[in-house]
Structure 1
Amino acid sequence: METHQLALSLPATPAAAAAARHQAVSAIVGWDAGLGTEVVRTAELLVSELVTNAVQYAETGSVSLAVCLDEVVLRIEVCDTSPVLPQPALPDADSEGGRGLFLVAALADRYRAEPTENGKRCWAEIDLITKPSQDIACFLPLQRS
C-alpha cells in the first residue's frame, strides 16, 4: 500500500470540526485502501474531537489537520497555536463538554499531545494490522483426527 496524506488549514470556528470530518472521510475513502467502515468511522470521530479541542484553545485564526495512511497505521494530527497541553480530567455529570480526550483515549491505539515551536500538536493513531492474541488461540476448536 502506498502512503497517502491529507493536509488542511482550517479557520478556528465552530464549523471547523464538521468541515474537517467531511474532508478527512472523503480523502480516506477516496484513497481506496480497503479500510473497513469501523476504521473510517473511528477516524471521523477522532478528527472531530481533536479539531474541536484545537478550535476551543487556538490563540489565532486557524488550526491544521494532517491525516496520513500507510501500511500499518492511520495517523491524525491537529496543531494549534496554544502552548497549553490538554489535561484529561473527569467532567462534572452536568457538564456539556470535557469528554473528548476520553473518547480519543478509548478509540485510538495511541495518542499524545506535544509542544511545538508555535503551540502544540495532538495526534492519535489507529493500528491497521492487529497482532493475534495468544488468548484467542486457546479458544479455537481443535479438530480430531
Structure 2
Amino acid sequence: MATFTTRWFLASAPASVRSARHRAVDQLRAWGYQFDQDVAGTFALLVSEVVTNAVLHGKGDLLTLAMVARGQEVFVEVLDASNVAPSRREADPQDEGGRGMFLVDALASTWGIHPTPRGKAVWLTYALPEQPIPARGRRRAELLASLIRRARPRIHIGTSPVPSALP
C-alpha cells in the first residue's frame, strides 16, 4: 500500500484558506483517489476549518499544511507559531463564528493537538469511503446521522498518529 505525503507553506492570511482547501482536494485526486462532491466538500471543509483556526488564532506569518494519505485514510496537519490550543465549543445561534472545531470533531475520524518546537500542530484524520459512492441524498442523511451519534469528543492532546517532521 502506497503512502503519499506533501507539505505546503501558506501565508497566515484569510486568502490562504481557499487555496488550502482547493490544493488539498486536488492533491488527493492527483494521488489517484476518486470520490464524489459530498466527500470532496466534507474534506475541504475540514481543511478549511483547521487552516482558518490557525489564521485567526495562531501566530506568525507562515503556516504549514501537511497531508499524508495511506489506503483510505488521510492525515492533515496544520502548524502555526502559537502554543494556544484550539477548543471545541458550541457557539450560540447568533454567533457568526466559533463552530470550526465543533465541525472538525463531528466530521473527522479523529483529531488532536500537540506542541511543536515553534508552536503547535492541529491534526485530523479523515476516512475516505471504500464502498461505491452512495447517492447524494443518502450521503447527506448518513452524515447527519453520524453527527447525531457522535456525542463524545475524539480529541487527542499531546499525541499525533503521524510525526510533524514529515519527509
Decide: shared fold, TM above 0.5: yes
What residue is the counterpart of 1:9 in the other structure?
Answer: 9
State the AA in 2 paired with 1:16. Answer: S
Q: Confirm or deny: 8 A CA contact 2:88 2:105 kept in the other structure.
A: no
Task: Report the Cα offset of residue 37 of structure 1.
Answer: 4.3
Give, in whole Å, the separation in 1 of the partners of 2:82 and 2:22.
25
Question: Deviations 1:55-96 (Å, cap 9, x if unpaired)?
Answer: 112211011101111014111111111000012222222111
User: Residue 19 in 1 paired to residue 19 in 2?
Assistant: yes
Give, in whole Å, the separation in 1 of the partners of 2:74 and 2:39.
9
Give, in whole Å, the separation in 1 of the partners of 2:43 and 2:55.
18
Aligned CA distance change for structure 1 residues 40 and 6 (closer, same or farther; 3 Å) = farther
Q: Confirm or deny: 8 A CA contact 2:80 2:120 kept in the other structure.
A: yes
Q: What secondary structure is seen at the aligned counterpart in 1 of 2:102?
A: helix
Q: What secondary structure is seen at the aligned counterpart in 2 of 1:77?
A: strand
Q: Could you state the TM-score of these two structures normalised by the residue count of structure 1?
A: 0.82
Give, in whole Å, the separation in 1 of the partners of 2:93 and 2:34.
39
Q: Between Structure 1 and Structure 2, whose CA radius of gyration is higher?
A: 1
State the AA in 2 paired with 1:9. Answer: F
What residue is the counterpart of 2:105 in the other structure?
Answer: 105
User: Residue 124 in 1 paired to residue 124 in 2?
Assistant: yes
Task: Report the Cα offset of residue 35 of structure 1.
Answer: 4.2
Q: Sequence identity, in percent? A: 38
Q: Which runs of 5 or more structure 1 residues have no equivalent in the other structure?
A: 131-145
Give, in whole Å, the separation in 2 of the partners of 1:47 and 1:111.
12
Give, in whole Å, the separation in 2 of the partners of 1:38 and 1:109.
16
What residue is the counterpart of 1:134 in the other structure?
Answer: none
What residue is the counterpart of 1:55 in the other structure?
Answer: 55
Q: Confirm or deny: 8 A CA contact 1:10 1:64 kept in the other structure.
A: yes
Q: Confirm or deny: 8 A CA contact 1:63 1:79 kept in the other structure.
A: yes
State the AA in 2 paired with 1:7. Answer: R
What residue is the counterpart of 1:79 in the other structure?
Answer: 79
Q: What secondary structure is seen at the aligned counterpart in 2 of 1:114?
A: strand
Task: Report the Cα offset of residue 41 of structure 1.
Answer: 2.5
Q: Could you state the TM-score of these two structures normalised by the residue count of structure 2?
A: 0.72
> Runs of 4 or more off by more than 3 Å in structure 1?
34-39
Give, in whole Å, the separation in 1 of the partners of 2:45 and 2:110.
15
Task: Report the Cα offset of residue 34 of structure 1.
Answer: 3.3
